[in-house]
Structure 1
Amino acid sequence: MKRYDRLREILQLDPERDFLRIYRLMAAYEFPWDITRALELALYRTYAVPRIGGLLARTGEFTDRPQKRYDDTALLLDAVMEHGFDSEDGRTALRRINRMHRSYDIGNDDMRYVLSTFVVVPKRWIDAYGWRRLTEHELRAMVAYYRTLGRHMGIQDIPETYAGFERCLDSYEAAHFAWDEGARRVSDATLGLMASWYPAPLAPLARGASMALLDDSLLRAFRYAPPKPAVRAAVRGALRLRGRAVRLLPPRGKPHYARQNPQIKGYRDGYRLAELGTFPVPGSAGCPVPHAGGGPS
């Protein structure tokens, strides 16, 4: 297989009908590292909205157990992508996601904003640092994938196009990014978690590299001092160089899923999807969308 053969396969598929297949090829074959990093940044951005970051701080989950929350979030979201919306594992993951969210008072606007980060941040990341840019074909499939995920989460008024998702994200952040003490604690815990993935002598460098990827709006919201321009340039330049190096490598022959990431550290002996996440209120609703078996899951 040659470097662009999988892209040729993607371009032969219908982005509206085959969106799951296309997104799986993107996330597990073409850009697994980039999409993982981009989704980490996407979720991190949401902390700068005080209603979201403050709620996460009050639960204590992201400050007291950041590794477990990271693992559970990645594994649940990835199970849907790997197995599909109508699979047993996909339905189990969706039930867990929805029952956690519906245990708290989370408004539709906040949920739609979080969904928008899953579309916009990976596109921007890959265009900046990936080994190639996304095609319009792939972007349409990614929009269709996350619109479907949003419907399964009961989100209303989901944007229909990438431009709509981008407007949703940019306008929401402009209106709602602000300082919140609890959100800052969640941010600090998350940056600490990412630094902990590296040997102790490298932890300060890892934290500094993470800070160099934050834009000015995030830095202001969390009241972080801006990184030195030279540090920011070095980190972002290194990521662009990585992308160019990956372009010269042969294409991935086997899929890579989140459960294979070295950052997933809490389940060395395996896990059950039905046991991931938190269980604050028993009996909360599952997925609101009817599945192939008939009725909601």
Structure 2
Amino acid sequence: MGRYTRLREIRRMDPERDFEQIFRWLTQYEFPWDYTQGVSVAFLRDYGVPHISQLLDRTQEFEHNGQKRYDDTVLLGYEMAADGFDSARGRAAARHLNRIHGTYHIPDDDFRYVLATTVVGPGCWIDRYGWRPLCANEKAALALVGHKLAELMGIPDAPRTMAGYEKLLDDYEAAMFAYHPANHRVANATFRVMASWYPAALRPAVARFSLALLDEPLLRALGFPVQPPWLRTLAHRALRTRATVVRLLPARPDSRPGLSRPRSYPFGYTLDDLGPAWAQHRPLRPLPREDTR
């Protein structure tokens, strides 16, 4: 398979009909690492809104179970998409997610914003740091996946296009971004989780590197200083260098999807393991295969 074989196929697809297949190729074969990084940045954007971070701060989930909270969010998305969003497995995951969120009386505006971060964030990351930018059909597929998730979760008035999600995100952040101590506490807890993936000696540098990739409005809302220009340039060039290297590598074969092993579940998980302890019964899922490329 050539490096651009899937891209050529994706350009011939109809996103309205084929968005699930495009999403699967995009997240598991073309950009698995980049998509995960974009989702991580999406988490951080949520914390720039005080009433969202205050709720997360009150639950103490990130403070005491940060890695599990991160893994659970990724795995719930995986469960919904693995066999198709309309499959029994996908709908069971959506019901479980709704049961967890139903306890907290979250407004639809907040649900739509969080959804927008998970659509726009990975798209922006891939365009900036992926081995190639997304094509129009891939962007359309990301937006349609967001719309499908909204449908499964009963969230009304979700956009169907990337432009719609970008406008929703920009308008919401212009109105809602503001500093609050809870923003900083939840973001700090999340950075500790991310830094823990690296050797202890590298963790301070990893934290500074991560901050250098965030935009100024988000940094102000989270209560972190803007990093110096030399560090922002270094972080950008390092990721662009990685993109160049990945572009020269062969395409990922169909037999080897780029799914990472969840750190919180070394022996597998059930659907009811995902989420807070009170949200608990289903068969063991096979672990995603380890792949760090």
TM-score, normalised via structure 2 length: 0.91
Structure 1 residue 12 displacement after superposition: 2.4
Structure 1 residue 183 displacement after superposition: 2.1
Change (3 A) 1:27 1:281: closer
Query: Conserved in 2, the CA contact under 8 Å of 1:10 and 1:138?
Result: yes
Structure 1 residue 160 displacement after superposition: 2.5
Q: CA RMSD in A?
A: 1.5
Structure 1 residue 281 displacement after superposition: 7.1
Tell me, yes or no, if structure 1 residue 241 matches structure 2 residue 217. no
Structure 1 residue 91 displacement after superposition: 2.1
Tell me, yes or no, if structure 1 residue 256 matches structure 2 residue 254. no
1:278 counterpart residue number? 276
CA distance in 1, matches of 2:3, 2:226: 38
2:172 counterpart residue number? 172
Structure 1 residue 171 displacement after superposition: 0.9
Query: Conserved in 2, the CA contact under 8 Å of 1:212 and 1:232?
Result: yes
Identity, % of aligned positions: 48
Structure 1 residue 213 displacement after superposition: 1.1
Query: Conserved in 2, the CA contact under 8 Å of 1:72 and 1:276?
Result: yes
1:114 counterpart residue number? 114
Q: Aligned with 2:62: secondary structure?
A: helix
1:265 counterpart residue number? 263
CA distance in 1, matches of 2:256, 2:113: 29
Q: Aligned with 1:143: secondary structure?
A: helix
1:199 counterpart residue number? 199
Structure 1 residue 196 displacement after superposition: 0.9
CA distance in 2, matches of 1:189, 1:228: 23
What are the Cα deviations for residues 70-98 of structure 1, in whole angstroms up to 9, with x where unaligned? 11111111122222112233222212211
What are the Cα deviations for residues 33-76 of structure 1, in whole angstroms up to 9, with x where unaligned? 00010011112110110111110000111111101101111111
2:11 counterpart residue number? 11
CA distance in 2, matches of 1:181, 1:154: 31
- Gaps spanning 5+ residues in structure 2: where? 281-293
Within 5 Å, give how 1:20-35 maps onto structure 2: 20-35=20-35
Change (3 A) 1:89 1:274: farther
2:187 counterpart residue number? 187
Tell me, yes or no, if structure 1 residue 125 matches structure 2 residue 122. no
What are the Cα deviations for residues 148-202 of structure 1, in whole angstroms up to 9, with x where unaligned? 0111111111113211110000111111011121221110000111111111101
Structure 1 residue 211 displacement after superposition: 0.8
2:37 counterpart residue number? 37
CA distance in 2, matches of 1:94, 1:44: 23
Change (3 A) 1:245 1:281: closer
Query: Conserved in 2, the CA contact under 8 Å of 1:92 and 1:274?
Result: no
Change (3 A) 1:279 1:152: farther
47-56 vs 273-282, which deviates more?
273-282
Query: Conserved in 1, the CA contact under 8 Å of 2:183 and 2:221?
Result: no
Q: Aligned with 2:257: secondary structure?
A: coil
Query: Conserved in 1, the CA contact under 8 Å of 2:212 and 2:231?
Result: yes
Query: Conserved in 1, the CA contact under 8 Å of 2:146 and 2:160?
Result: no
- Gaps spanning 5+ residues in structure 1: where? 283-297
Within 5 Å, give how 1:7-86 maps onto structure 2: 7-86=7-86
Query: Conserved in 1, the CA contact under 8 Å of 2:50 and 2:180?
Result: yes
CA distance in 2, matches of 1:50, 1:280: 25
TM-score, normalised via structure 1 length: 0.90
Amino acid corresponding to residue 227 of structure 2 in structure 1: P
Change (3 A) 1:134 1:128: same
Q: Aligned with 1:103: secondary structure?
A: helix
